[in-house]
Amino acid sequence: MIENIKLKLEEVGKDLRYLSLLSNNFPTIAQASSEIINLEAILNLPKGTEHFLTDLHGEYEAFQHVLKNASGVVRRKVDDIFGSTLRENAKRELCTLIYYPEEKLELIKKTECDLDDWYRTTLHQIIEVARIVSSKYSRSKVRKSLPKDFAYIIEELLHESLQQTDKHDYFNSIISSIISIRRADEFIIAICNVIQRLTIDTLHIVGDIYDRGPGAHIIMETLCGYHDFDIQWGNHDILWMGAAAGNKASIANVIRISLRYANLETLEDGYGISLLPLATFAMEIYGDDSCKNFKSKINDSDNHKDKTLRMLSQMHKAITIIQFKLEGQIIERRPEFDMKSRNLLEKINFLNETINIDGKDYDLQDPNFPTIDSKSPYVLTPEEEDLLEKLQHSFRNSEKLHKHIRCLYAKGSLYLTRNSNLLYHASIPLNSDGSLKSVKLLNKEYKGKALFDTIDKLVRTAYFDEQDSENKGFAVDYMWYLWCGTDSPLFNKDKMATFERYFIADKETHKEKKGDYYKLINEEPVCDMILSEFGLNPKKSRIINGHIPVKTIKGETPLRANGKLLVIDGGFSKAYQSETGIAGYTLIYNSHGLLLVQHEPFESAEEAVMEGQDIISTIQILEFKAQRLRVRDTDRGKELANQIKDLQKLLLAYRGGLIKEKK
């Protein structure tokens, strides 16, 4: 026994430096013991709910609603609690109040005859909902989620019950006091926000926050203030990150896509980036050009005048030509990107108004290129140079943009492994036989996890490295390659046929051949190999993927490889909904198992408040656990178990005299 204690003390002695630091946080045996008891208790709580979303594409109203209703979890809680004791309309009204408390209260106060009675009934109802959603967390965690103004009162109400006879009057007196001092509105808003906060423990965004929709900046602002989230970068996110890092080709692409979808809100309203210099330039150069192939894709509800649409088309064409020139410059200085075949401006026959691609001549739908010198097609005119300097300056000096980009870096990565799930946005470069494809970067070969880790470092170098070095220059150029390069895991196609779609009628030239990954993800052994590569057990793990819109109207399913891989891009973006037939998928992973939620299109937040409309969602149970998952079954549980071991070593060090307790 004594030898055993000596042996343990010898092991503790090896970690003495670390344990001395730990003793600053737990300076006595009593405090270290209390923390061990606390952590052991937390390990036995139910696993927190994880919520997975992908390909948001600026659709901020649908995104915010899905956050508020937690993909229908709030409504299911209300159904479970109140069952048939509340009418359907009353449950719908209660849910709408929880989602949009400020807006709903304004409506209620205009129509309710006995407001005090409504307050009393409603406060009891939302407190009961809050009690249920908070029951799986420790009191400490719940306390940290409470607003300061009402923290004590909410905590009291959450842990008291009308069923306790001794506390019945106490409970009711708190409710009556809240109403009598006219704090009911503020209290209802506070507790509804607590319900939203506690319903989702962790939020995973599996890429593509930006482009197409009008409110990427609003989504980012929401995320930056969110309690616990992570992001796996998508190709559209990387494009904006490259633009913020100063890559001019990425800047041109960002502006072109915004103009293509007549969506300037994020650029102008969100980030204060003025497109007036581009408008002035475009009207001067293309004033007599209809730019018919550059008409923006607009919704029927958009109210744009013909003059505005013409100007947008001219701006669209101007920045597109500049983009092709800038991309050509990168391709010329980076032969290692192996993209020479995409330098198409040099293949134009300006006299015949044709272009030769792969040995075949095609007529150009739009042969007007006033800024292109046929002898030096990738050289910018002085006016284009001046315009690019102004645009780059705007991107570099937008405080709000860089706040959001820093958030993308701080909370983001190319991939994530969490609780037996592997998350990444698009693909893994593979060979046709299903093996990992080697990709050369900075004169070295990488594949699989090593490739992702190397790319992750380059992405951070592009933005954070202040040295004006070759490595920094390569990293900035590589940000553009990640957007459209053949071996980019975020693109993984033979080409991005932007030029062809604008200028060539033959749709065969528009086709982009996908990499082998997209053909092989239905094969279970391939998915098992990928999971093993990233250190996960294939028997217990799955891949969660976005990027590929699942066309349910054509019978496609998000489940691949016998459920080993889930593609959950179902069309959050309105631009995709005509192809997918739905408005997105989300995943819920809670203590009971894994749920796939399919959403119908969302009208608007205004309709939700006025009419009590919720997103219609269909739930499919993918995995059900007969025994509830506990915190100890999660990655967080493993971290807590290690903390307990360290604290047990600290106790031994105290009791063995290796470290002295601090008063």
**How many C-beta atoms lie closer than 10 Å to residue 200's C-beta?**
25
Average pLDDT, the chain: 90
Residue 578 has pLDDT above 80, yes or no: no
How far apart CA 175 and CA 180 sit, in angstroms, is 9
Contacts (Cβ under 8 Å, ≥6 apart) of 330: 249, 337, 477, 480, 481
Residue keyed to tokens 């708190």: 174
pLDDT at 490: 97
Which residues lie closer than 8 Å to 55 by C-beta, 6 or more apart? 206, 207, 208, 234, 546, 547, 549, 569, 571, 572, 573, 576, 584
Residue with tokens 């693909």: 427
Structure confidence by residue, pLDDT tens digits, 460-477: 999 998 877 778 999 999
More confident residue, 165 or 244: 244
pLDDT at 147: 86
pLDDT of residue 273: 96
User: What confidence tens digit (pLDDT) does each residue in 48-73 have?
Assistant: 999 999 999 999 988 998 888 888 88
- Per-residue confidence (pLDDT) for residue 527, from 0 to 100: 97
Find which of 24-38, 568-582, 590-604 is predicted with most confidence, using mean pLDDT: 24-38
What CA–CA distances, in Å, run from 214 to 61, 188, 542, 627?
A: 10, 30, 33, 43
Q: What is the DSSP string of 533-555?
A: HTT--TTT-EEEE-SS---GGGT
In contact, 126 and 154? CB cutoff 8 Å: no
* SS3 (DSSP) at 276: helix
**pLDDT per residue as tens digits for the range 611-650:** 666 666 777 888 888 889 999 999 999 999 999 999 999 9
Q: Give the pLDDT score at 16.
A: 87
| pLDDT class of 580 with cuts at 50, 70, 90 | low
- The pLDDT score that the predictor gives to residue 145 is 86
pLDDT for res 346: 96
Q: What pLDDT shows up at residue 408? A: 97
pLDDT value of residue 295: 92
Tell me the per-residue pLDDT of 510-565, one tens digit each, with 9 for 90 and over: 999 999 999 999 999 999 999 999 999 999 999 999 988 887 777 788 899 999 99
Q: Is 275 helix (H, G, I), strand (E, B) or coil?
A: coil
Separation between Cα atoms, residue 559 and residue 598, nearest integer Å = 13
Residue 80 sits at the vertex; the CA angle it makes with 74 and 85, to the nearest 5 degrees, is 115
Paired with 231 in beta bridges are 205, 412
Check if the beta carbon of residue 208 is closer than 8 Å to that of residue 57: yes
Mean pLDDT of the region 89-112: 90
Considering the chain, what percentage of its residues have pLDDT values greater than 70? 93
**Lowest mean pLDDT segment, chosen from 261-275, 294-308, 488-502:** 294-308
CA–CA separation, 198 vs 158, rounded Å?
Answer: 13
Confidence class for position 492, pLDDT limits 50, 70, 90: very high
DSSP result, 346-362 = GGEETTTTEEEETTEEE
Q: Using the predicted structure, report yes or no on whether residue 608 has a pLDDT greater than 80.
A: no
Q: What is the DSSP pairing of strand 348-349 with strand 565-567?
A: unpaired
Query: 276-285 and 306-333 helices cross at what angle (nearest 10)?
Result: 90
Residue 95 DSSP class? H
User: Coil, helix or strand for 302?
Assistant: coil
Distance, CA of 450 to CA of 308 (rounded, Å): 48
The torsion defined by the Cα of 536, 539, 544 and 548, in degrees rounded to 10, comes to 120
The answer to whether residue 603 scores a pLDDT higher than 80 is no
- pLDDT higher than 60, residue 6: no
pLDDT, position 609: 73
Q: How far apart are the first and last CA of the chain?
A: 31
Q: DSSP letter string over 634-660?
A: SHHHHHHHHHHHHHHHHHHHHHTTSS-
Q: In whole angstroms, give the CA distance from residue 599 to residue 584.
A: 5
Statement: residue 99 has pLDDT above 70: yes
CA separation for the pair 164, 469 (Å, rounded): 70
Token readout for 184 is 């009911």
Average pLDDT over residues 115-131: 92
User: What is the CB neighbour count within 10 angstroms for residue 173?
Assistant: 10
Exposed, middle or buried: residue 180 (CB in 10 Å: 0-12, 13-18, 19+)?
A: exposed
Contacts of residue 25, defined as CB under 8 A and 6 or more positions apart, other chains included, come to: none
- Of residues 9 and 3, more confidence is placed in 9
Among the listed residues 544, 543, 598, the one whose alpha carbon sits nearest the alpha carbon of residue 71: 598
What is the per-residue pLDDT across 319-340, written as a single tens digit (0 to 9) for each? 999 999 999 999 999 999 999 9
Tell me which H or E stretch contains 26: none
pLDDT confidence tier of residue 299, bands split at 50, 70 and 90: low
Asked whether residue 35 carries a pLDDT value surpassing 50, the answer given is: yes
pLDDT at 363 over 50: yes
Contact present, 489 and 427 (Cβ < 8 Å): yes
Q: What is the pTM of this model?
A: 0.92
Which residue stretches of 70-181 are H helix?
A: 73-82, 88-99, 101-111, 115-134, 139-145, 151-158, 168-180
Strand 542-545 relative to strand 421-424: parallel, antiparallel, unpaired?
Answer: parallel
Cα angle 649, 652, 657; round to 5: 130
Supply the pLDDT for residue 612: 66
Question: In the prediction, which pLDDT does 611 show?
Answer: 65
Q: Which of 631, 559, 561 is nearest to 590 (CA)?
A: 631
Q: How confident is the model at residue 1 (pLDDT cuts 50, 70, 90)?
A: very low
